[in-house]
Amino acid sequence: MLDTNTYLVYDSDSLDAVVIDVGGDPSEVLDWVRRLDLRVHAVLATHGHFDHVLGAGAVRRALGVPLYMHRDDVQVAEETLSWYSRAFGGDVGKLEVDYALAGDCTLRFGSLELHVIHTTGHTPGSVSIYVPDLQALFSGDTLFAGTVGRTDLPGGSERALAESIRKIFRTLPLDTYVHPGHGPSTTLRRELRANPFVEDALAEGAGAQDLEKP
């Protein structure tokens, strides 16, 4: 409905895999899991808005794997799924979160290592997921190509989002690939050069001048 990107992240040797942000019909994700014979260990949500979790419960049940979400967005998911149900009809059911994350953490699933970065601002429990072996960041609705996530929805904070942008740029290499929750992929280096919201956020924080300019 909102053109949410769903990501299937896997190791082509071990076939260990995770699914990130199942925002709608899970059938295509499940089909790819079967076609590639992947061993999915978990479903992860970058945040609780319905367009990122609508199909998460179905994938969780179909594959028998746990769902991970930041604890500050569990209620966000309940509220937005309830709104979706009222607006479009049908009972989407209660979303069962198996592991409620807190702050930054590292998750390991077989050969996969994921660094979960709490990037609040779009929602209180928004996270971005960095995969070191891929040098890739799955940024949810925190950072997009050319823009950043909106902060005018309940729980949003422009100041917190700016701090999260600074956190990302001061933590990760500039050549990191960024795969957002909507729209095309990009890199941190490209966003440093061409994203005015990133420029403004970095200008607000001390030490922004230490970042390498392309």
- Give the residue among 177, 201, 190 at the shortest CA–CA distance from 146: 190
Residue 210 has pLDDT above 90, yes or no: no
pLDDT digits 0-9 by tens, 89-134 = 877 778 999 999 999 999 999 999 999 999 999 999 999 999 999 9
Return the pLDDT at 94. 84
Residue 38 reports pLDDT greater than 90: yes
Q: State the average pLDDT over residues 67-71.
A: 98
Per DSSP, the three-state class of 100 is strand
pLDDT tens digits for 198-209? Answer: 999 999 875 454
Per-residue confidence at 211, pLDDT binned at 50, 70, 90? low
Q: How far apart are CA 10 and CA 15, in angstroms?
A: 6
Mean pLDDT of all residues in 14-23 = 97
Q: Which one, of 62, 183, 75, lies nearest residue 123 by Cα?
A: 75
Phi, psi dihedral angles at 162 (to 5 degrees): -60, -40
Tokens encoding 82? 């309830």
**DSSP letter (8 states) at residue 188:** H
Supply the pLDDT for residue 90.
Answer: 72
Q: What are phi and psi of 23, to 5 degrees?
A: -95, 0
Assigned token pair, 106: 């590292």
pLDDT digits (tens, 9 = 90+) for 174-194: 999 999 999 999 999 999 999
Report the predicted TM-score, pTM, of the whole model to 2 decimal places. Answer: 0.94
| Coil, strand or helix at 210 | helix
| Strand, coil or helix: 72 | helix
Q: Which pLDDT score, from 0 to 100, does residue 158 have?
A: 97
* Contact in structure between 43 and 138 (CB atoms under 8 Å): no
Q: Which CATH architecture has domain 7-207?
A: 4-Layer Sandwich (3.60)
